[in-house]
Amino acid sequence: MTTDEQRDPGHGNSPAAWTAVIIILVAFTIGTLAFWFDVEGYGTQWLVWASAGLVVLGFVVGGILKAAGYGVGGARVKSKH
């Protein structure tokens, strides 16, 4: 017997959270590689800043999807309980 206080809140296991995390991970990977190549002198500083913008975009997309009902407990997410 579980009460509402004992139920797992989901910890971000939703389409909105997964989409945001994937976008942010890709952005950090691109930014890290671009920074490394820039150290080698290839002039990819613009790609580092573009990946920083992609991180921000990941947060925005996650927020939009959450507002559209794809967040934890959202109307468009199938409950596993």
Please report, to the nearest 10 degrees, the dihedral formed by the alpha carbons of residues 1, 71, 17, 5 taken in order.
-30
Tokens standing for residue 38: 């820039």
User: 40: domain range?
Assistant: 19-70
Q: Look up the pTM and report it.
A: 0.79
- 76 inside domain: no
Assess whether pLDDT exceeds 70 at residue 59. Answer: yes
**Between 62 and 81, the higher pLDDT residue:** 62
Q: Which of 71, 72, 26 is nearest to 53 (CA)?
A: 26
What is the pLDDT confidence band of residue 13, given thresholds at 50, 70 and 90?
A: confident
- 77 inside domain: no
Structural domains of the chain, count: 1
pLDDT of amino acid 35: 84
- 2 inside domain: no
**Residue 38 near residue 69 (C-beta atoms within 8 A):** no
